[in-house]
Structure 1
């Protein structure tokens, strides 16, 4: 049995100064890095997800309702789509990009990024590969999704952290439960858009997610 940490969408556009900032996002990048450094021995695998929008249709809007539509953010290949500079990528094995041509909140909608797109150690600003990088494919030619990757690595339990508690963290955690994993969300290692996150937390708990 293997255990994996899933780091959700700790990207520049979701942190202070970005197109769609979550309060506390930059501090969260630091906190997650410190947690991984201290606890990486407890995980067999560490992966991360990224919003990676090319043309997501109505997900982008000039007059967003901040529920189903949003200002443009995390456009593939831009600085806003890059991981925050304070998120240490040393232990991250794989990245899963989601939302290229549609709205995508769950990391389980993501596809494995090319091997040369995986940053390790210290990165220079602007170093993330561009929008034209194709996802990795399985031998049959199908792109590799997060669930397939986790299964291929015998993962049974996942811990989810990142941004934002009430959107992509929630969606990723609930999809993980539906896929059959044991799921824990570390609430202190998430930050949300709404001021009151009790409803999102209650929904996750009702859906079978353990909140730590």
Structure 2
């Protein structure tokens, strides 16, 4: 059995001071770096995703001048900008695959992204015989939730490393974790 680690959207625009900064985002970046220092060898694949939106246009209705913060958002994670880069507290040295998602369209799950050579996450997991997936990143109530639900839908056993996620709001993050547990994910407080 091979285990994969998902690092979901730990980017400057989603950590403190970013366009859609999440409280605790910097701590998640540093926590994932510490986790990798201790456990990178436990994973056959380490996949990090980034929102990577087009600079022109509204990215399929994802960007709005007056966002509703549910389906439309302020401009964020525009390709090749500082906001789209990984948070400086996140070491990506152990990452085996980088995935970009949301190029011209709304995208929440890292399963919606591709590597620079065009591989999907589902292809990578199948190719490497991944059965188990640990999920970390930002935001618990949006992209972490969507990525974990897709992993479950693709037949993987999913663990959410709860100390290594941060959400937009406490109530919606708690609801997302409850939904994930109900869907079959294991909530792990100490990994």
* TM-score normalised per structure 2: 0.94
Q: How many residues align?
A: 184
- Listed as ranges, the gaps of 5+ residues in structure 1 are 114-135, 137-142
Q: Which position in structure 2 is the counterpart of 1:206?
A: 182
* TM-fit CA distance, 1:210: 1.1
Which portions of structure 1, spanning 4 or more consecutive aligned residues, are displaced by more than 3 angstroms?
none
Ranges in structure 2 where 5+ consecutive residues have no aligned partner: none
1:165 & 1:187 partners in 2: Cα distance?
9
The aligned counterpart of 1:35 is 35
CA distance in 2, matches of 1:62, 1:20: 14
Partner Cα separation in structure 2 for residue 17 and residue 206 of structure 1: 33
Q: Which residue of structure 2 aligns with residue 166 of structure 1?
A: 141
Give distance in 2, aligned partners of 1:209 and 1:47: 18
Equivalence for 1:80: 83
**1:17 deviation in Å?**
1.3
For 2:131 and 2:46, the matched residues in 1 are separated by 13
Could you tell me which of 165, 187, 191 is aligned with 2:166?
191
C-alpha distance in structure 2 between counterparts of 1:207 and 1:60, whole Å: 30
For the 8 Å contact 2:159–2:186, the answer to whether it is kept is yes
Task: Report the TM-score, using the length of structure 1 for normalisation.
Answer: 0.85
Match runs of 1:117-136 below 5 Å: 136=117
1:153-186 C-alpha deviation (Å, 9 max, x unpaired): 1111110000000000000000000001111111
- The root-mean-square deviation of aligned C-alpha atoms, in Å, is 0.9
SS of aligned partner of 1:57:
coil
